[in-house]
Chain A
Amino acid sequence: MNLKLKIWRQKDADSAGKMVDYEISDVSPDMSFLEMLDVLNEDLIAKGDDPVEFDHDCREGICGACSLQINGEPHGPDRGVTTCQLHMRKFKDGDTIYIEPFRAKAFPVVKDLIVDRSSFDRIQQAGGYISVNTSGNTIDANAIPVNKHDADKAFDAATCIGCGACVAACKNASAMLFTSAKVSQFALLPQGQVEATDRVMNMVRQMDLEGFGNCTNTGACEIECPKGISLENIARMNREYLAASLKG
């Protein structure tokens, strides 16, 4: 198939960017979206142009590196997939596809389609961990009983790959789904209780400092999340927050 692409090009963080039109032909419906961009880049390089920069790593939906706002939705029109798992068969011959970086004040553009998502790392560093003695008398995690229901919910939360699609989709550029997943994966487990109060307070504070918006419960994040992280996590984080602030 033949496609028209409108791609955000931006030289570096300090330059102004703009949408640039490209045409690409003979795209196989079996290609992934990133492979389609690879082909475009080979064309551009052959012509002596600058290739379009985009993030990717695993190309199998587990690392969260690939991003892209495709036709107004993070990771494109398909559900439950990342951009590397999106197939060109989701598009039709002659389509125009808008390809833009994830947009948020807390995700500044580095170049073209690459944004700096280290704000997520800083939220994680603010409290997304547990302190464990590793000096020889470490307790085997399996020795601590966890009920199946909580273990499953904690695991669900832990499947968040930190891709940032929730932020990109949200009209408020809120990072509540991500942060709540990272709070929940510990809040549900006995190992997470010791630091529970500080964890939620510090992670929420960092989330605000980074300049993410406020959740208004539109639910866009849950729909666009490639890992199906549930809004239940946001409710849990709010409960954790309430409990923590009442404790002082």
Chain B
Amino acid sequence: MSGLLNTSIARKIAMALSGLFLIIFLTQHFVINFTSVVSPENFNEISHFMGTNALVQFLLQPVLIFGVVFHFVMGFALELKNRQARNAKYAMYKGSANASWVSRNMIISGMVVLAFLGLHFYDFWVPEMVYKYIEFNPEDPARYFPELVHKFESPVRTGIYVVSFALLALHLWHGFQSAFQTMGVNNKYTPAIKTLGKTFAVVIPFGFVFIALFHHFNQF
């Protein structure tokens, strides 16, 4: 293991692995959120489990936080290095002639998702931590669903939610297949991976959007 993070390819592979990890996390998160549309009881049950299970709380959660932080810190580091690699700018550079907007602007879609993650932490995670580990409130297995619905009352919040997920969709439109290419997978399955990636990039983020709008409009 001589080149852990000290070469361009090693850093790229780390970026792809963290991206794939976030994709798995996103899928899991979506499935749980979706139960809130189907059955508030199931949603409460699963949330209660996730919120109180020691394995989830003290192993998976720290791993997830590390994964997110690693991915965006690495994203910024790569962006910086890449800017330095072209120290003199072109007077005319036609990026759109040979590459898609999404592929050229992963840092922009990523930064919007990051801003959203900040808000999301503030909205859900910080109150959770305060509730459980600072105020030591008694566990109430039925509190999750009302808390969720309450968050989607504000049209501004819901709007931010929708925009952020649209940018996550763009991020994944390029990112999903890109991660496979980075991992060295480019063969007869590549067209299928690209289709799967684009499907995922639409279905999952807009699935989240659907959940948000569902709870938003159900309040009235």
- A residues in contact (CB < 8 Å) with B: 6, 8, 19, 69, 71-73, 77, 98, 100, 103-106, 109, 169, 171-174, 176, 201, 204-205, 207-208, 211-220, 223-224, 231-232, 234-239, 241-242, 245-246, 248
Stretch at the interface among B113-121, B142-150, B157-165, B182-190: B182-190
- Give B181 Cβ to nearest chain A Cβ, in Å: 5
Chain A residues with Cβ under 8 A from B8's Cβ?
174, 176, 204, 207-208, 212-215
Chain B residues with Cβ under 8 A from A73's Cβ?
94, 97-98
B136 at the interface (CB under 8 A from A): no
B90 at the interface (CB under 8 A from A): yes
Chain B residues with Cβ under 8 A from A224's Cβ?
98
B94 to A219, Cβ gap below 8 A? no
- Give B101 Cβ to nearest chain A Cβ, in Å: 10
Option from B91, B100, B103, B184 in Cβ contact (under 8 Å) with A98: B91
A72 to B97, Cβ gap below 8 A? yes
Which 7 A-B pairs have CB atoms at the shortest separation, nearest pair first?
Answer: A72-B94, A213-B85, A235-B186, A239-B184, A172-B82, A218-B99, A223-B98
Q: Given A205-B7, A215-B8, A218-B100, does the pair A72, B90 have CB atoms closer than 8 Å?
A: yes
Q: Given A201-B3, A223-B98, A223-B99, does the pair A217, B182 have CB atoms closer than 8 Å?
A: yes
B94 to A104, Cβ gap below 8 A? no
Bound form: Cα–Cα A105–B81 in Å: 11
Bound form: Cα–Cα A72–B91 in Å: 8
Chain A residues with Cβ under 8 A from B10's Cβ?
241, 245
A98 to B92, Cβ gap below 8 A? yes
The residue in B3, B98, B103 that gathers the most chain A C-beta atoms within 10 A of its C-beta is B98
> Considering only CB atoms, which chain B residue lies closest to A243 in the complex?
B184
A-B contact count (CB 8 A): 143
Bound form: Cα–Cα A215–B82 in Å: 9
- Give A116 Cβ to nearest chain B Cβ, in Å: 13
Interface of A is mostly: mixed
Chain A residues with Cβ under 8 A from B182's Cβ?
215, 217, 238
Option from B12, B84, B177, B181 in Cβ contact (under 8 Å) with A105: B84
Chain A residues with Cβ under 8 A from B106's Cβ?
216
- 10 more contacts with CB within 8 A, not counting A98-B92, A204-B8, A208-B8, are A72-B90, A171-B82, A172-B86, A211-B84, A212-B85, A216-B78, A217-B177, A219-B103, A235-B186, A241-B13
B82 to A214, Cβ gap below 8 A? yes
Chain A residues with Cβ under 8 A from B99's Cβ?
171, 218-220, 223
